[in-house]
Amino acid sequence: MNKKRGPSDVMIRITGNAIETCLNECLKDGVMLKNIIRQDPFTATLYIASTDTSQVRELANDYECHIEVIRDSLFERYIRMLKKRAGFFVGAALFCCLLIVLSQMVWKVEVQGANPEIERTITENLEKLGLKPGAFQITLPPPEMIQKEILDHTNGVTWVGVDKKGTAYYLNVAEQTLPEKESQPPPRHITAKKKAVIHSVYAEKGQAVVKRNDLVHEGDMLISGFIGKGKYAKAVPATGEILGETWYKVVVEVPMKRKVTTLTGAYEKQHVLYIFGLKLPVWGFTAADAFQNFHVEEDLRQISWRDYQLPLAWLTKTYEKVNEVPIDLSVEEGLEEAKEVARFKMNSHLSGEAYIDEEKILHSESRDGKVKLEMHYQVIEDITSEAPIIQGEMKE
Amino acid sequence: MFDRFKKSAKYWITGKMNIPEDVLLEVPRLTMIGQLHLHVENHRGILHFSKDQVRLKLSNGELIVEGKQFVIKNILPDELLLEGRIDEIRYVNSESRGGAHE
């Protein structure tokens, strides 16, 4: 038993003398009647399914009753409303269609990892395939095919990864990296940079002309660029590594009495606010007077937005308490320290693979509260330098 | 004669077999929810219907319902749901000693 009115039910009014009889006949024919209300002895209103209207009308005519539909079904009324707002619904439907169509297009093609030249050829090839912003995705071959096509038609590309993310295509390009052609240097000799005793000889190209323990002076030839004999003779760019023993003298002076400052760990902080260059202490007014000996650290935080510096800054001053400790070294201690300083000085002068082989104290003395030290260092270092071969030399 | 026999047989069967009377006997079954609803099963049609009174034909006589603001919510060939304020339900027996009417 359905109490509710269905969406296709219409409200009808029945007028006549024999309404009850008419209704009984309707029932016999299996017409569903709902919400029957007697308005007055000659009229009643009721709901019937809209499909039954004609049947009920025929029956009513037999019993001299008149029927009129006084309210259309919900369904009909809804359709009428739809028609009234047709513009809106058409618009909504169009919008959905547009959205679907636009989402089926390619909006972005991005080539990553290629240099401009290759990127251009790839882009051109893609356009030949039809892959460019504005193309429809259905017309395009699948990413694997695109990948293959691009690989086949582009030189200088080892691999292309085609990624489709929504409406965007990303191409990851791995360029072919050919081994760089080493620039062939012009023929040359290797000569000594400074006076040294040869420690080791390694001639990669060219002919070594020195042996271990030879003494060489600056400009002496170490590796010759001429190789071969007679008609096979030719000049090559000599390369190699020749380590030589060189000598340095370092003089250092170290005072024996010094003051060293150490931080105690106690500190006071002062916060200062800068507004348009105006200093406004905010916190820690007494920080500056807290310690007798102190060390100040400033931390300035400026507020900037993009490229603009706002006229606001926050300065944190940290006053750290400092202890001054006098150091009084003995002669021996001073000497040790002087040695360390000298070694440090020597090492900072050396470069690359050079190392100190031997060290000797040449002279040391303590005078006027200072230790003066003269050190001699024997250093192993690369002594090669290049000397070009002039073309004319060959013929000699 | 045969009708009467059939009828008494039905009475006898329902009485002995504990079957609900409305199943075999063609009597109406009324279900009422307070004064608000009246559900009638096994009626035989509407005789009269107005806002204050509904007269239903039964297999055996008439049912008269009186009240206010009657609306027949739903009606089927043998079922009816009446809504309104029901004040009175009355049976009118048209049965004569001689046999069932109609």
One-character DSSP codes across A191-234: EESS-EEEEEEEEEESEE---TT-EE-TT-EEEESEES-GGG-E
Residue that has been written with the tokens 């009850």 in this structure: A20
Residue A28 has its nearest CB partner, among B47, B77, B81, at B77
Of residues A189, A354, A325, the one with CA closest to residue A261: A325
Alpha helices in A104-175 (DSSP H): 116-129, 143-153
Mind listing the pLDDT tens digit for each residue in A113-137? 888 888 888 888 888 888 888 888 8
Q: d(Cα A47, Cα A37) in Å, to the nearest integer?
A: 10
Task: Please answer whether residues A313 and A274 qualify as being in contact, where contact means their C-beta atoms are separated by less than 8 angstroms.
Answer: yes
Taking residues A356-374, what's their average pLDDT? 86
Q: How many residues does chain A have?
A: 396
For the cut 90, the answer to whether the pLDDT of residue A354 exceeds it is no
Give the count of beta carbons closer than 10 Å to the beta carbon of residue B18.
7
Tokens 């191409």, residue? A171
Residue A20 with chain B: CB contacts under 8 Å: 45-49
pLDDT tens-place string over residues A73-125: 888 888 998 899 999 999 999 999 999 999 888 888 888 888 888 888 888 88
Residue pair A245/A194 in contact (Cβ under 8 Å)? The answer is: no
H/E stretch holding A23? helix A19-28
Instruction: Give the pLDDT of residue A98.
Output: 94
Place of tokens 């079922």: B79
Hey, is A226 helix, strand or coil? strand
Residues A14-71: pLDDT tens digits? 998 888 888 888 888 888 888 888 888 889 998 988 888 888 888 888 888 888 898 8
Torsion sign over Cα A151, A155, A161, A162: negative
pLDDT, residue A323, reads: 86
When comparing pLDDT for A335 and A287, which is higher? A335
Least-confidence region, from A3-7, A60-64, A147-151, A308-312: A3-7
Report the alpha-carbon distance of residue A213 to residue A199 in Å, rounded: 6
pLDDT for A239 beyond 90: no
Predicted local distance difference test score (pLDDT) of residue A13: 92
Instruction: Report the gap between the CA of A80 and the closest CA in chain B (Å).
Output: 28
For the residues of A331-359, what is the DSSP string, one character each? HHHHHHHHHHHHHHHHHHH--TT-EEEEE
Closest A-chain CA to B52: A38
* Predicted-assembly ipTM surpassing the 0.95 threshold: no
Which chain A residues touch B73 with a CB distance below 8 Å? 3, 34-35
Contacts of B72 in chain A (CB under 8 A): 33, 35-37, 46
Which chain A residues are within 8 Å of B76, Cβ to Cβ?
Answer: 1, 27, 32
Instruction: Give the per-residue pLDDT at B100.
Output: 43
Q: B63, B28 in Cβ contact below 8 A?
A: yes
In Å, how far is B18's CA from the nearest CA of chain A?
Answer: 28
Nearest to B80 by CA among B51, B59, B54: B54
- Of the pLDDT bands very low, low, confident and very high (cuts 50, 70, 90), residue A391 is low
- Distance of alpha carbon B32 from alpha carbon B87, whole angstroms: 12
Dihedral of CA A206/A211/A217/A218: which sign? positive
Q: Is the per-residue pLDDT at A223 higher than 50?
A: yes
**Cβ contact, residue pair B45, A19, below 8 Å:** no
| Distance in angstroms (rounded) separating the CA atoms of residues A377 and A358 | 6
Contact by Cβ (8 Å): A158, A174:
yes
Compute the distance between CA of residue A187 and CA of residue A220 in angstroms, rounded to an integer.
17
Residues A367-378 pLDDT 10s: 888 888 899 999
The predicted structure's pLDDT at residue B95: 57
A230/B contact by beta carbon, under 8 A: no
For residue A34, the chain B residue with the least C-alpha distance is B74
The whole-angstrom separation of Cα A185 and Cα A121 is: 35
Ramachandran class of B28: left when φ > 0, alpha when ψ lies in -120 to 50, beta otherwise:
beta
- The DSSP code for A394 is G
CB contact under 8 A, A3 and B47: no
A20 touches chain B (CB under 8 A): yes
CATH superfamily assigned to domain A9-78: ACT domain (3.30.70.260)
CB within 8 Å: A3 and B73: yes
Please report which confidence band the pLDDT of residue A292 belongs to, taking 50, 70 and 90 as the band edges.
confident
Contact: B75, A27; criterion CB under 8 Å: yes
The superfamily CATH assigns to domain A103-175 is membrane protein fhac (3.10.20.310)
Q: Tell whether B67 lies on the interface with A, counting CB pairs under 8 A.
A: no
Q: CB-based contact (8 Å) between A30 and chain B?
A: yes
Tokens representing residue A374 in the block: 């003269």
Q: What does the DSSP assignment read for A259-299?
A: EEEEEEEEEEEEEEEEETTEEEEEE-TTGGGS-SSEEEEEE
Task: Please judge whether B73 and A35 are an interchain contact, meaning their C-beta atoms are less than 8 angstroms apart.
Answer: yes
pLDDT of residue A2: 47
* 8 Å CB contact between A104 and A137: yes
Rg (CA), chain A: 51
pLDDT at B102: 40
pLDDT class of A394 with cuts at 50, 70, 90? low
Q: Whole-angstrom Cα distance, residue A152 to residue A141?
A: 15
pLDDT score, position A5: 67
* Closest CB from A1, A32, A35 relative to B71: A35
- What is the pLDDT at residue B31? 93
Question: Phi-psi region for residue B61, left (φ > 0), alpha (ψ -120 to 50) or beta?
Answer: left
Distance CA A278, CA A284 (A): 17
What average pLDDT does the structure give for chain A?
85
Q: Where are the domains of chain A?
A: 9-78, 103-175, 269-321
B33 interfaces chain A, CB cutoff of 8 Å? no
**A1 contacts in B (CB within 8 Å)?**
74, 76, 79, 81
Q: Which of B71, B73, B76 sits opposite A27 (nearest CB)?
A: B76
A-interface mutation test, from B33, B51, B58, B72, most A Cβ less than 10 A away: B72
Q: Which of A78, A13, A92, A81 lies closest to A45, judged by CA?
A: A13
Q: Looking at residue B97, what is its pLDDT?
A: 43
Provide, as residue numbers in chain A, all residues whose Cβ is less than 8 Å from the Cβ of B71. 35-37
- Number of neighbours of residue A379 by Cβ within 10 angstroms: 21
Beta bridge partners of B90: B64
For the segment B2-23, the average pLDDT, to the nearest whole number, is 81
So what's the pLDDT on residue A99? 93
Q: Does B64 touch chain A (CB under 8 A)?
A: no
Q: What's the pLDDT band for B68 if we cut at 50, 70, 90?
A: very high
- State the distance between the two ends of chain B, measured CA to CA, in whole angstroms: 15
Minimal Cβ distance to B72: which of A2, A24, A36 = A36
What pLDDT sits at residue B81?
92
Whether A4 has its CB under 8 Å from any CB of chain B: the answer is no
Class of the CATH-defined domain B27-92:
mainly beta
Q: Yes or no: say if A182 and A166 are a contact pair by the CB < 8 Å rule.
A: no
